[in-house]
Amino acid sequence: MQHEGLTEMLILELEGLTIGYRSVNREIVRVVDNVSFELEKGETLGIVGESGCGKSTLVRAIMGYLRPGGQILGGNVRFKGTSVLALKLRELQRLRGRQMAVVPQNPLSSLTYHMRVGDQIDEILQIHRGLNRHDARDETLNLFQATRLPEPAQIYRRFPHQLSGGQRQRVVISAALACQPSVMILDEPTTALDTTTEMQVLQLVKELSEEFDTAIVYITHDLTLTNYMCDSVLVMQNGKIVERGTALRVFKCPKEKYTQDLVAAIPRVDQPPRHKKSYVPEDGDALLEVKELSFAFRPAWSASTLFTKQEFSRAVDQVNFSVRRGETIGLVGESGSGKSTIANIVVGLLAPSLGTILLDGNPLSVLAKKRTFEQRRRVQMIFQDPLSSLNPRQRIETILTQPLRAFFGTSPRDARDQAAKLLEDMELPLRFLSQFPRQLSGGEQQRVAIARAFAAQPDLILCDEITSALDVSVQAHVLALLTTMQRKTGTACLFISHDLGVVREIAHRCVVLQEGCVVECGTTERVFTDSKHPYTCRLLAAASRQDGLRDQDKVLTN
């Protein structure tokens, strides 16, 4: 690239930015400490670090926003030469959205519940780009097409809760791209997405950034991603930059201990599991059998659906599989492949359209409230988002004793003792009993959720993406605890994940789903090393990007 107009090339400049928050005891805690970097037109910068390292505070500060209680202690943020921190609210508003766009981590919370997603993008186009309604609609459909949303016209009419996680994130990316910003900040945008979707989204972001010369700040905890996406990388820890360099160098030969640990904690699809799995007899009786399971969503209501016959799209289509006692089955597939739907049906939150579920050979009623007490106890579920799966108004003690008292009628005192025992099993301190979920970190919350599931002494636990909201190092710990508990109690586990590395690490057998159908099923090692179906091969290729695609890319662009 030619450096003719240096000032014009420079999009973003941070000089020793330091941000502090006043803690309860009036001390100032430095959340971002002396961070400097420069971002040129079309450049992609990765910022890597685990939760709590100050990444999100940094993003907000770049946009000229601080959470209440925060203050700039020093340094400056310059966007195309103007200091963002000195701008008035009016001027900031003109900058945000049009010149700088953010793609946040949780797409659901950045979309309005009550508006159709199409209208939400239209609104941006009308306000920021002054398009009329008709043009805005066309442009929105174009954006949806560009972000590869299936059937844009249908999606346009849907509400956020009717979309899958991947689709929501694409809608949010469409919104960010709507005004062709000169810098786009992506705050862990693909954490909740499966690998192939993630790759498509990243590919898309890359293409679009090249097309419009958009500079990108990519925030993530995943070093393999920055290796794929970014030109250069900053590694942050406790608000400070601990390492910086080109993406490839940092990933391949990290210098700092912290970076090395980060790289090591990433579960790899292309390497055999690091821990030996428990032994499960090949010919053991099936604990859970799922036969010919199908599920169809009703199409979204609209004027046209009144008069035309609608195609029912099947979210789950004639799925068969079984789980043996003590076994871990990995259920993998892209978002929208029906993994969560299957879990919800098995646990009894959704009624299947067709098919039967057998527990120990006895058919289960479709909905949880029709099942017997014992059946409900024997199948437990752990949810993706640990915080929302724990009642914020209950102390951990209440959360853990509830299942004990409901299922076993344990007396309050015994229940408390058992709850303490469960905390111990999860390597959590006893003082947590009197604390509330919000006072715990994400990993600790998820460990409480696991403890709650085991409190019922179930035969089968359904884990719906239980580590996707966690940092890699925390994830490793949570999974280790889960497998230890499983081994101790002989509980079987249906492990739903889009992270193939994790599945390879813990599942005995795995079932690969594509658009609601089982495309491949077998022992994990067989599926991962000798996959028969092209879809599985594609998933694996996307997941092992760190050693394939990117390196070639690098060579080509340099």
Partner 1 sequence: MKYPSAFEVLTHSPGTMIGVTLVAVHVMVTLFAPVLIPFEETKIVGPVLSSPGSVENWLGTDNIGRDYLSRLLMGGRTSIFVAMVSITFAVLIASLVGISAAYVGGIYDDVVMRIVDTKLAIPGILFIALIVTGFGRSIPALTAAIALSYLPGAIRIIRSQALTIIPLGFVETAKLRGDSLPRIIWKELVPNCQEIIAVEFALRMSSSILTVSALSFLGLGISPPTPDWGLMIAEGVKNIHTHTWLILLPAAFISTLVIGLNLASDGLANALGLDAARGIN
* Site residues (vs partner 1, CB under 8 A): 21, 23-24, 29, 31, 68-69, 113, 161, 347-349, 368-369, 373, 376, 380-381, 383-385, 388-394, 399, 402-403, 406-407, 449, 452, 456
What is the SS3 assignment for 115? coil
Question: CA triplet 77, 82, 83: central angle to 5 degrees?
Answer: 35
CB of 230 to partner 1, least distance (A): 28
- Work out the widest C-alpha separation in the chain, in whole angstroms: 77
- The single-letter DSSP state of residue 279 is P
Q: Which helix (H) or strand (E) holds 132?
A: none
- Minimum distance from CB of 219 to partner 1 (Å)? 19
Cα 219 to chain center, whole Å?
Answer: 13
Paired strand residues for 49: none
Helices and strands: H and E segment counts in the chain: 23, 20
Query: Nearer to partner 1 by C-beta: 70 or 104?
Result: 70
* Angle between helix 442-455 and helix 472-489 axes, rounded to 10 deg: 10
Structure tokens at 304: 């046209």
Closer CB to partner 1, residue 67 or residue 257? 67
Cβ 439 to partner 1 shortest distance, Å: 10
Cβ neighbourhood burial of 301 (10 Å; 0-12, 13-18, 19+): exposed
Nearer to partner 1, 31 or 173 (CB): 31
Min separation Cβ 388 and partner 1, Å: 4
CB 522 within 8 A of CB 201: no
Closest CA to 352 of 299, 296, 416, 402: 296
In degrees and rounded to multiples of 5, residue 406 shows phi and psi of -70, -40
Total Cβ atoms within 10 A of residue 66: 17
Least CB distance from residue 409 to partner 1, whole Å? Answer: 13
Whole-number Cα distances in Å, 327 to 279, 422, 506, 510, 540: 8, 22, 10, 11, 23
Nearer to partner 1, 278 or 435 (CB): 435
Tokens encoding 254: 């990290």
Residue 23 or 356: which CB sits closer to partner 1? 23
Q: Considering beta carbons, is residue 86 or 349 the nearer one to partner 1?
A: 349
Least distance (Å) between residue 419 CB and partner 1: 15
The count of C-alpha atoms lying within 13 angstroms of the C-alpha of 303, restricted to the half-sphere facing its C-beta, is 0
Given a contact cutoff of 8 angstroms between Cβ atoms, the answer to whether 446 and 170 are in contact is: no
Q: What is the 3-state secondary structure (H, E, C) of 190-211?
A: CCCCCHHHHHHHHHHHHHHHHH
Nearest to 511 by CA among 361, 328, 372: 328
CB of 373 to partner 1, least distance (A): 7
**Looking at beta carbons only, is 367 or 537 nearer to partner 1?**
367
Alpha helices in 157-246 (DSSP H): 165-177, 195-212, 223-229
Indicate the residue type of 354.
Answer: L
Least separation, in Å, of the C-beta of 371 and partner 1? 8
Mutual angle of helices 472-489 and 257-264, in 10-degree steps: 50
End-to-end CA distance of the chain: 11
Task: Choose between 402 and 435: whose C-beta lies nearer to partner 1.
Answer: 402
- Closest separation between CB of residue 487 and partner 1, Å? 24
Question: What is the smallest separation between the CB atom of 108 and partner 1, expressed in angstroms?
Answer: 10
What does the chain come to in residues? Answer: 558
CB 126 to partner 1: min, Å: 22
Q: What's the half-sphere exposure (Cβ side, CA atoms, 13 Å) at 542?
A: 21
Q: Is 44 or 335 the residue whose CB approaches partner 1 more closely?
A: 335
Least Å distance, CB 544 to partner 1, is 32
Minimum Å distance from CB 490 to partner 1?
21
Please, which residue, 307 or 373, has the CB nearer to partner 1? 373
Q: Which two tokens stand for residue 369?
A: 């409230």
- Give 178 or 347: the residue with its C-beta nearer to partner 1: 347
Collapsing DSSP to helix, strand or coil, 506 comes out as helix
Element (H, E) at 76: strand 70-79
In terms of CB distance, is 496 or 542 closer to partner 1? 496
